[in-house]
Structures are given as structure tokens and as C-alpha cells.
Structure 1
Amino acid sequence: MSTAPDSAVRAFIEEHRADFLDDLMEWLRIPSVSADPARAADVRLSADWLAATLARTGFPVAEVWTPPVGEDGPGAPAVFAEWPSGDPDAPTVLVYGHHDVQPADREDGWRTEPFEPVIRDGRLHARGAADDKGQVFFHTLGVRAHLAATGRTAPAVNLKLLIEGEEESGSPNFPALIRERADRLACDAVIVSDTGMWSATTPTVCTGMRGLTDCQIDLYGPEQDIHSGSFGGAVPNPATEAARLAAALHDSDRRVAIPGFYDGVVELTDRERELFAELPFDTSDWLRTAHSRATLGEAGHTTLERIWARPTAEVNGISGGYRGPGGKTIVPSTAQLKLSFRLVAGMDAEKVQQAVRAWVAARLPAGIRHEITFWRATRPCLTPLDHPGLQSVVRAMGRAFGQKIRFTREGGSGPAADLQDVLDVPVLFLGISVPSDGWHAPNEKVELDLLMKGVETAAYLWADLAENGRALRTAPDASCP
């Protein structure tokens, strides 16, 4: 296996940096907003542009896929590309990202037009610069640098790309697309380039994401709003019961009080807690980003542990009864409670849903009818620290950044678990975005120096994964526990 010399990789990247940025800015000019039906043609244009560019990069296969028709109609187009290694023992790696973007308008607070990229002070500003076109696109120059520096004519791994077109709309049709095309997507590992790092000076690798399930609980009491003087205190009030459910969701230690909720939870190891503690976390800075005046959560855990590695339950909304000006002395006929649950390794969304249903039914009095509607069920995703694929990512990043790579997790949820579930392979994360990049916010940007570090990391990664191909294929199951 030919390992790319660092100097050769960096020289190639620098030589082609300007053309790479010109191409990226051309792609960023396409307003591929998947949530806006009026932009459907732009999303398709974005997919076509990427497929053509990947073919020009050297991928012998570059196709635009339309997801199966779902409840809301056909999904947004995804791009699939494939470049076989030619080596019979080479592992197969699938890179995931997305080419759709969040809505953006000048009046939202952008200093410049969101779909007219601008380079200013070493930063590229545009919608999608970091989330996720920039992080997808660094793989195009990365694989070229890998080839140029090693003298290969094809990557050291069988390289596949799947770039989704509806991630910013919740990926409603993505699981069906994966199942339908599972044979084409078969691989030994997935690289997700839709995450970030702790900071520009503290490069990190994400090792997992939490799962998610959320619901609405509709409560029904009297057949209509009734007089609180004539009937209040003598009949069940659905708004009161919604409040009682919300108040009973946690115990005095801020643990979720639903029986069975923590069944199967994989607890943090001492080593993982030490690694979290190594990060330069500043509570005051974090509170500013949270727009909050204080931290609060499950007793016995730090803030990072709470948002990365502990399951949570949140009241997203509570409503019912009169909400107009002044007072109205009624017992309302209906109330609603919206809840979301973040899940960690070892938890099963369907079992959590069953536990929530049983808990609600046990707490409501006679005379209150209820209905529960669950919307999503996303599994958590976690890769063990000693997994050989993760170690390849760490080594490649370490070469690019020239310093120790630390570890994080993501508190949110994404489609990584769908890839892991259907393809039955580990998911590894490679992202170079930093919190200040402003995902989903006005003036989104990507740091150009970090973007080039992503290119360099990708250039080193494929040879490292190829050298560890057997270990990658025979490693213990790294799917979501």
C-alpha cells in the first residue's frame, strides 16, 4: 500500500485550491432549499451539478437517484457515485452528506446575498458553506490529492458517495431510499461528513449521535368548554392534567420519571468521562450560545455528559383552554402536550414509546380521554473508541492538523442510524465545521483553512482505511447497541 507523503498532499492541495473554491462557490449559488416546493427545480439542479462534477473528478459512476414515493409524494433527488479501487482486498467505504440547504433570505439578517458566496477574512460566507456543501465537496479534492500523491489511478478503497437531497426537511424518504438501494450501497463503513469539531484550535472526532422520538398527547375532558363556577373542581380538567403530566415527567434529581425509560442505557465509562473533561469547556461561553442564565439537568452529570451521553425528556409545548386577552372562567374541553425524548446507546425508540403510553394511561383520571401521536423514531448511534475505522479517522486528522485529536459526541439526531441499521456497518464521523460557522443562521460561513484540513484528512484517510481493511471488516459490531 502506497502512503501519501504529507508534503506531496499539501502541495497538490495548494496548487488546486483556487479552482476548488471556484467550483464550490458555483455550487453554493444554487439555492437547493428542500423545504420550499418552489425550489424543487433548484434541488434537482444541485443534484445534477454534483453528479456531473463527480464524474469530472474521476468517478466512473455518478448517478442521480429519486427516493421512492412516500406519504408526501416523491422525495428530493440524491446523488450516488462510485469509484472501485481495483484491489481485490480493498474495503468499501461510503461517504454520506447532503446537498440541500436551509432557507435563507437577505432580510433574515445576512450582510450579503446568502446564495452569492463571498470570501472575507479567510472565511467563505454562503448558505451551505458549512452545512453541508463545503463538507461534502472537500472529498472531491481530497481523493484527487490522494491519487496524485500515491501515484494510484483509483482510490485505495472502493469509494462510494451518497449525498442526500432532503436532510434539511427531516429525511422523510431517505430510509426507504437506503432500503431500496441497499445492494448498491453495501460497504464496510460509512463516513458521515455532516458534523463539526469542538473549535479551530481543538480538533475533534465525533463518536456518536443521540436518537429521537417525539409525540403529541391530546387530552379530552368535557364535551365543550364549561363554566368554572358551576363545574370547576367537580369534573376533570384536561389542561390541569396536561400540567400534571408535564410536572411529573422528572423527579427531584431531574431524572426522567417514566418507568422503564432508562432500561438498556449504556452508561459512560470512566475513560469516556475523562475524555469529555479534557475539552476546554467554559460554562459562561456555553450559556451565551444557549441564551440561558443557568445550567440545569440530571444530577450527577456534567453539562457535556447531559447533552451528549444521557437520555432526556423535554416539554416542547403545552396548551389548552382560553388564550385570548383577559380572563375567561372555564374548564376547557381539550389540552395538548408535546414531548420529545433524546435517546442514547442501548435504548430502543419503540420501547420508549411503549413506556410513555403506559405512563400516560396510568396517570390520567377517569373522565379524561387521550390520544398519543408519535412522529419520529430515530435510533442512537455510537462507535466504540477502539474501533479500527475510528482510529483511521483519528490518525488521518492527526496528520492533517498536526496535533492530538480529541473526542466529542453530538447531542442532536440525524440519518446516521438509518445508514447503520440498513447497511449493518459502523458509522464514522469526519467533519471540520466549528460552532461559529452558524449552521441554519444568517451569515453562515466556513473557515477556509479548516476546509483545506478536511481535504487533507480525506487525502490521508483512504490509504489508512485500506491498510486496516481486514481489521475493519472483522471488528466487533459497532452498530447502535
Structure 2
Amino acid sequence: MSSPESAFSSLFKEIDGLKEHFITRLSKAVSIPSVSSDLTLRPKVVEMAHFLKSELTALGAAVELRELGPQPDAPDTQLPPIVLARYGVDTSKRTILVYGHYDVQPALIEDGWATEPFELVQKDDKMYGRGSTDDKGPVMGWINSIEAHQKAGIEFPVNLIMCFEGMEEYGSEGLDDLIFAEKDKFFKDADAVCISDNYWLGTTKPVLTYGLRGCSYYSVTVEGPAADLHSGVFGGMVSEPMIDLVHILSGLVSPDGKILVPGLMDLVAPVTEEESKTYDTIEYEMNDLYAATGAKTNLHDDVKRTLMARWRYPTLSLHGVEGAFSAPGAKTVIPAKVTGKFSIRTVPDMQPHDVDELVFAHVNDLFTKLGSKNKMEIKLLHDGKWWLSSPSHWNFEAAKKATKTVWGVDPDLTREGGSIPVTLSFEQATGKNVLLLPVGRGDDGAHSINEKLDISNYIEGVKTLSAYLHYVAVEKME
């Protein structure tokens, strides 16, 4: 078998020549407002699925739109289909399973966008538009790779299985059931999994991601009087739910970020000396944090502690209060019932049920100490476990070589503070190594206004994904 590098010169030249065509493809995708959380736009989400099917079918892929049935919380609405596609059936080649999503977050010009969110606008070598980096750009990257190989006359190095969903931004309803149902069917031939749905740590150096934190999300409800009361009449006469809730929430985390739930940190796997050293070479500066947040409100003054707080240790965040007065102006009301929301980002070796036990016990203890006559209830709204892969696996080695070939540097090996539950689902279902290979940069603004994808990341990303597949084809399997 010839070396992967022998194909790169003509392949990369072809990718450069197809630049405007690839940008046009992404522009068409961005123009479809496939907002999964907006039921009025559900037809547009379905339209996006059909767009993907059309693009892939035209390139010779076998494509199926797998219907998932009604949406659980809106039974009169059908879930958008999952796009299942296969390109290549050569049993002598490795098979790589790739995942992405074609739905996007809501976006309105009045939110503060400088351009129309569902038009791909080029400015200063960047492409602005909702979904450009999350996740339509990377999804188009796989399609672009297939086309580039065809037009360059280069044999595609692997069999490619594609799984693109339309509900990622709204909880991935139906995805897990499909993954486990198809683990011995559509996905059975997969030798490894690659997901491009995250970003570089900063703006200048590529990364490969091998770990994600989990997320346990809770609500605390305090209920007292039968209806809202006038504070001038009843203030000082009744136990106020809002006061109870504020005391409970303040007992969960300190202003310096320390989690106040007893025993929680005892669940965390200790940091080894070898792991600690990996942070010393990661390219990141405190200015990257300042730029990303728009303020110098950092809890830590050095990079290592900042990064470890981002992905190595658990954090507890308060998210909001439901039922309290929040409109402009003054309203002297005592709310009868309020609900606070908070989450804990979990890490190895925290098990969700152990976290729940400690959180429930602590919240109940905080409420008991108040001596309140109100009623309190704590609930787990949802949870997702952390994920940790092996960055020395041949799947990662192929991605390292591809990154070095295209970008000229060895990628940083990083973990992430957020959660992508599908990584763990694919790992558990297939038993194969899962790699996170990001295309976009850390300043792309996914989920935010003015989301963008640098043109260089998009085009060089196609090269990286393509080179990865070539290295995968020959990388020694261990």
C-alpha cells in the first residue's frame, strides 16, 4: 500500500481549487434555519435533512432518512429524521463512523447579530452565520472530502459511515435508542469513531480532545403560601419561599468557586504526576480567557489552574430562578413558589448516583437548618456521565499525523469542560475508540451572536479530515 502522503499533493490542490464551491455548499446549508427547539421551524429542520441526503446521494453515498416518530414533549410533532449514510463497502478497508448534527441554535437579528444569522456572510476571511461552526461546517467537511477525492481521481481510503442528527441542540431525542439499536447492524463494521462537534482551545493551535465532563442538572423548589402575597401586608408575618431558596443556593458554592457539598470532591480521581505535566505544554494564555469572556473576572491567575478548573475538576453553577419577579421596574410581591436551577459538571471518577446522594442530602440538610414552615423539593432533571478516551490509540495517532501534516504543528491534547453525551453513547454501543477532531476555533462563538467559522479552518479542515482518513487506513492497530 502506498504511503498516505503520496496522495496529499494532488488532493490538497483539488481542495484549494474547490474552495468557492465548498463555501457555496455551506452557504446553502446555513440558509436553512434548522432550529430544532422551535416547533414552527421543524419543517426547515426536515428540509436540512433532505439537503444532506441530496448532497450525499449525488456523490454516490447510500443514504437513509431514519424516522424517529413523535416528539415526546410534543406528540403532535414528528422528530426530524436521522441521516444515516454509507460511502464505500470494501471489506479490505477500515470503516470509520463519523457523527455530526444539522440542527442549530435559535438566532434573530435583534439578538445583536451584525449580519442576518441565516445568511453566510464573508468578512475579513471569516464566514458569519448560525451553524457555520456548530455544526454545519464540519458536517459539510466530510461531504467535501468525498467530492475532493472524486474530482482528484484519488481512491477514498476507508469506508465511511455517517450519522447526522437533527435534535442535538434540543436534547438529541431518539438518538441513543437508534445508536444502541443499530450497534450490531448499521454501525457493526465501525473500527473507530470520529466526531467534529467541538473547537480548538484557543485561536492559533489545533487540538485533539480526549475527555469531556458530565453534567448533573437539578432543581430546588420552595413552596409556601397558596398564592403570591403583598409584601406590605404579609412581609414579616410568613416564611418567604424566596428567602429560603436564596439561603439554599448560597450554601451550594462559594464566590471563589469552591463546591460546598460535603464529600463531593472525595469522588474525584486524583491528578497523577504524569497528567499534571501535560498541562505545561498546552498553548493557552490568560488573555484567551479575557477575550472569550470580555472581562477579567477570572478565579485563577495562572493557565494551569484555569485549565484544570475548566475540564479536570468538577464545578457547580447556579443558572436561574423560576417563579420570581424578573421584569423591569418594581413589584412588591412575595412569590408563593420559586424554583432554583443549578448543575454540577462531573469528572472521573464521579458516578452520577453518588453525586445525587450527596447533593440531595446536603440540600435537605440546608433546608432543615432553616427551620422553615415552607415545603422544599429537590429533583434531578437530567444527567450525563463524563467521558474519557485513550489519546494513544491508533485513531488518535492518525489524527495527530493529519494535524501535523496540514497545520505544521503537533496538536495539543485537551479535555473539555462541556458535555457531548453522544461520545459516551457511541463508545458504549460500539466498544470502539472515539476521537473528537475539531474544525473550528475557540473564538467561533457557537450558540452566541455572530457565530463564525474562519475560511482557513473550513478549507484546511477538509484537508485535515481527509488526511486523517488516509492515516487511519494504514495506522497500525493495537
Q: TM-score range by the shorter chain?
A: 0.7 to 0.9
Alpha-carbon distance in structure 2 between the residues aligned to 1:134 and 1:184:
25
Match of 1:449 among 427, 447, 456: 456
Residue-by-residue CA offset, 1:319-355 (whole Å, 9 max, x unaligned): 777779668697x654432111111132222332232
Helix, strand or coil: the match of 1:403?
A: coil
Counterpart of 1:157 in structure 2 is 158
Amino acid at match of 2:315: T
Residue-by-residue CA offset, 1:328-387 (whole Å, 9 max, x unaligned): 697x65443211111113222233223212222233226443222222211111222322
Matches within 5 A, 1:36-185: 36-59=38-61, 61-72=62-73, 73=75, 74-88=78-92, 90-145=93-148, 151-152=154-155, 155-182=156-183, 183-185=185-187
Cα distance, 1:27 vs structure 2: 2.2
Cα distance, 1:305 vs structure 2: 0.9
Does residue 1:423 correspond to 2:430, yes or no?
yes
Do the aligned partners of residues 120 and 322 (structure 1) sit closer, same or farther apart at CA in structure 2, a change above 3 Å counting? closer
8 Å CA contact 1:275, 1:406 repeated in 2: no
Structure 2 residues without counterparts, runs of 5 or longer: none
Counterpart of 1:3 in structure 2 is 3
What TM-score, normalized by structure 2, do the two folds share?
A: 0.86
Cα distance, 1:111 vs structure 2: 3.5
Q: Which moved more, 1:207-216 or 1:103-112?
A: 103-112
Alpha-carbon distance in structure 1 between the residues aligned to 2:69 and 2:259:
38
8 Å CA contact 2:191, 2:432 repeated in 1: yes
Match of 2:396 among 358, 373, 390: 390
Residue-by-residue CA offset, 1:81-136 (whole Å, 9 max, x unaligned): 11234134x43321111111222233333333322323333222222211111111
Does residue 1:306 correspond to 2:309, yes or no?
yes
Amino acid at match of 1:81: A
Helix, strand or coil: the match of 2:443?
A: helix
Residue-by-residue CA offset, 1:38-78 (whole Å, 9 max, x unaligned): 2111111111111121122232x111122243422332222
Amino acid at match of 1:369: K
Amino acid at match of 1:309: R
Cα distance, 1:466 vs structure 2: 2.6
Do the aligned partners of residues 268 and 453 (structure 1) sit closer, same or farther apart at CA in structure 2, a change above 3 Å counting? farther
8 Å CA contact 2:36, 2:170 repeated in 1: yes
Residue-by-residue CA offset, 1:132-171 (whole Å, 9 max, x unaligned): 111111112223445677843xx43331111111112232
Cα distance, 1:224 vs structure 2: 6.3
Amino acid at match of 1:395: K
Q: Which moved more, 1:386-395 or 1:111-120?
A: 111-120
Match of 1:20 among 10, 19, 22: 22
Do the aligned partners of residues 141 and 295 (structure 1) sit closer, same or farther apart at CA in structure 2, a change above 3 Å counting? same
Match of 1:283 among 286, 292, 315: 286
Alpha-carbon distance in structure 1 between the residues aligned to 2:252 and 2:59:
53
Do the aligned partners of residues 408 and 268 (structure 1) sit closer, same or farther apart at CA in structure 2, a change above 3 Å counting? same
8 Å CA contact 1:383, 1:390 repeated in 2: no
Q: Which moved more, 1:143-152 or 1:207-216?
A: 143-152
8 Å CA contact 1:215, 1:340 repeated in 2: yes
Helix, strand or coil: the match of 1:435?
A: coil
Helix, strand or coil: the match of 1:58?
A: coil
Helix, strand or coil: the match of 2:362?
A: helix
| Identical positions, percent | 30
Amino acid at match of 1:361: N
Matches within 5 A, 1:322-401: 333-365=336-368, 367-401=373-407
What TM-score, normalized by structure 1, do the two folds share?
A: 0.86
Match of 2:200 among 181, 197, 210: 197
Q: Which moved more, 1:398-407 or 1:269-278?
A: 269-278
Counterpart of 1:412 in structure 2 is 418
Residue-by-residue CA offset, 1:193-220 (whole Å, 9 max, x unaligned): 1111134421211222211111111123
Do the aligned partners of residues 23 and 235 (structure 1) sit closer, same or farther apart at CA in structure 2, a change above 3 Å counting? closer
Helix, strand or coil: the match of 1:347?
A: coil
Match of 1:403 among 390, 395, 409: 409
Helix, strand or coil: the match of 1:97?
A: strand
Taking only aligned residues, the RMSD between alpha carbons, in angstroms, comes to: 3.2
Cα distance, 1:399 vs structure 2: 0.8
Cα distance, 1:434 vs structure 2: 1.0
Do the aligned partners of residues 64 and 248 (structure 1) sit closer, same or farther apart at CA in structure 2, a change above 3 Å counting? same
Match of 1:266 among 251, 265, 269: 269
Counterpart of 1:216 in structure 2 is 219
Alpha-carbon distance in structure 2 between the residues aligned to 1:267 and 1:190:
28
Alpha-carbon distance in structure 1 between the residues aligned to 2:123 and 2:398:
34
8 Å CA contact 1:242, 1:318 repeated in 2: no
Alpha-carbon distance in structure 1 between the residues aligned to 2:58 and 2:252:
55
Amino acid at match of 2:432: V
8 Å CA contact 2:100, 2:163 repeated in 1: yes
Do the aligned partners of residues 232 and 202 (structure 1) sit closer, same or farther apart at CA in structure 2, a change above 3 Å counting? same
Amino acid at match of 1:24: L
Cα distance, 1:221 vs structure 2: 4.2
Counterpart of 2:440 in structure 1 is 433
